[in-house]
Amino acid sequence: MTTARDLSPLQPDADWWRQAAVYQIYPRSFADGNGDGIGDLRGIISRVPYLEQLAIGAVWLSPFYPSALADGGYDVDDYRDVDPKIGTLEEFDEMVAALHGAGIRLIVDVVPNHSSDRHVWFQEALASPKGSNARARYIFRDGRGENGELPPADWTSIFGGPAWTRVPDGQWYLHSFATEQPDFNWKHPEVHEDFLRTLAFWSDRGVDGFRIDVAHGLSKDLDEVLPSKAELQAMPKDGTHPLWDRDDVHEIYAEWRQLFNQYDPPRIAVAEAWVETPERRARYASPEGLGQAFNFDLMEADFEASHFRDIVTDNLAQSAVTGSSTTWVFSNHDGVRHATRYGLAPRAGRPVKQGAAWVLAGGPEDQIDRELGLRRARAATLFELALPGSAYLYQGEELGLHEVAEIPDAQRQDPAFWRTTADDRGFDGLGRDGCRVPLPWTREGESFGFGDGGAHLPQPAWFADVAVEVQDGVAGSTLEMYREALRLRAQLQGAETLQWDERLCTGDVLAFERPGGWLNVTNFGADAVALPTGDVLLASAELGAATDGAPTLPGATTVWLRRTS
């Protein structure tokens, strides 16, 4: 039995983020307090005791700003307000106080690459003539062709379909994502000023940090004559690419750092930056810049010992260079949940499904080996939580949730689903709605306890078996495993180092020790191996016994031990 750590009041600590367990709330799908089918701040406030019991260090809240939800809230109408569907600024303050009172910090999402097309500046741009200051805050260009009827370039958006859209007076604007998400022009000083205002606005309201959406996209260098899509693709992403991961993007983050450091403790930031190499990622994690960057390597890895080991080794080496702590992620609102990924046939590299497996719209859930997937996910999670650095967890993974594959097309919301065809669709073939289905809190009842007004995405019948209520207090349930692991982690987490135990690392087994004799052993294979000696602290599945009675570590299982000698 372990004792809960003292969570209240919030301890002043400028380094709180370095090894925090951060729980991502996708607000529309977490808990619905007002019964309109959409999760909200009232719902989050009502679940603070649940978060407290989970023993997380911080919440990362995905966008909650006014939005038409063309991209689940990543299309922001107003950066300094709360969407009325989600709550009010007063409720936001109440939520911050409730979280802080429970010893939980708050990171909010900031979306600086693009606004929504309903943002007052974009509306002003549409109402203003070519060449106006209002247009210069975004990226407008004349079209090609005799009458400008062709887009300025043949680029495709990240969600598929064209990246340029024409406005009534004939000009075109750039949107790297959906049509409703016009890209800002970060060469315009007012864009800089406005984001500094936004960051100060939320910092003043007690927000502890920021997750920076598309951090690698803000700076763009576009001549009058634009390169073609093929030319763009051929250009190296070495800091000089016209669109992505430009060296000068860090000038923006240096400005932000000055603002962050005016607060006590300094506000933190974590970059979502999809870049070519760990070295380039390190720039976003610089203490002169955002300070931390997501490392998505584990989201893209098969459940395989050598692959995991390489990823851990590379990323720890990288964080030693930057001085930042590394981040670990298995699931978030953009990817197939890890219980499901691990229940599908192994794939090399990215878990993007092509062809037959898993991509068919409306199915095929029967291709998922749910049991194996969950077993591996639990083992992977304990492995992650024993690593130095911060762990970013996604709502619902503590229930062992699988991806919901069977959402009728007509009910899908993800623009990435609608802008592509099954063949060229990214985000694992079905778009990203399957990991965004409202959480099941109760076994029965309206929307499994999510709220009184249904759920904005359809919940499957199997949610009844995995709801919070079903797992609460049940020894061995995934929820109880997460609770225990997070409580233990908070106590055991010491210096940000690990030592591989080469004697135990054999083939399918990875073992590493943290300071204080905390030993993590993960068996990635199918066959049981001998259990190393030590006091068992926690295991992701029941331990076994050999014919001679000696304890074993079964396949797809992680155990935490305290070394006895």
Binding site for ligand NOJ (CB under 6 A): 71, 74, 111, 177, 213-214, 272, 333-334
DSSP designation for 162: B
Q: Minimum distance from CB of 73 to ligand NOJ (Å)?
A: 8
Cβ closest to ligand NOJ, residue 111 vs residue 339: 111
Are 27 and 45 a contacting pair, CB within 8 Å?
no
Q: What is the enclosing helix (H) or strand (E) of 392? A: strand 390-394
CB of 159 to ligand NOJ, least distance (A): 7
Beta carbon nearer to ligand NOJ, 272 or 513: 272
CB of 198 to ligand NOJ, least distance (A): 15
Half-sphere exposure of residue 196, counting CA atoms within 13 Å on the CB side? 16
| Shorter beta-carbon distance to ligand NOJ: residue 273 or 467 | 273
Distance from C-alpha of 494 to C-alpha of 556, rounded to nearest angstrom: 26
Name, in order, each residue with C-beta under 8 angstroms of 184's C-beta and a sequence gap of 6 or more: 112, 113, 114, 115, 137, 138, 139, 191, 218
Cβ at position 292, least distance to ligand NOJ in Å: 16
Nearer to ligand NOJ (CB atom), residue 384 or residue 414: 414
Kindly give, in sequence order, each residue whose CB lies less than 8 Å from that of residue 173, ignoring residues fewer than 6 positions away: 125, 138, 139, 140, 141, 164, 165, 167, 182, 183
CB 38, min distance to ligand NOJ, A: 17
**How near is the Cβ of 25 to ligand NOJ at its closest, in Å?**
14
Please check whether residue 558 is in contact with residue 539, taking contact to mean a CB–CB distance below 8 angstroms.
yes
- Give the nearest distance from C-beta 333 to ligand NOJ in angstroms: 6
Is 349 within 8 Å of 300 (Cβ atoms)? yes
Q: Which two tokens stand for residue 284?
A: 């976003």
Q: Closer to ligand NOJ by CB, 26 or 463: give it.
A: 26
- Name, in order, each residue with C-beta under 8 angstroms of 123's C-beta and a sequence gap of 6 or more: 117
In this complex, which beta carbon is closest to ligand NOJ, that of residue 113 or of residue 478? Answer: 113
**Shorter beta-carbon distance to ligand NOJ: residue 70 or 311:** 70
Closest CA to 335 of 313, 351, 320: 351
State which residue, 148 or 426, has the beta carbon closest to ligand NOJ. Answer: 426
The DSSP-derived string for 23-86 is EEE-GGGT--SSSSSS--HHHHHHTHHHHHHHT-SEEEEPP-SS---TTTT-S-S-TTS--TTT
Question: Closest residue to ligand NOJ, Cβ-based?
Answer: 74
In the bound complex, what is the minimum distance in angstroms from residue 443's beta carbon to ligand NOJ?
30
Please give the Cα distance from 257 to 269 (Å, whole number). 9
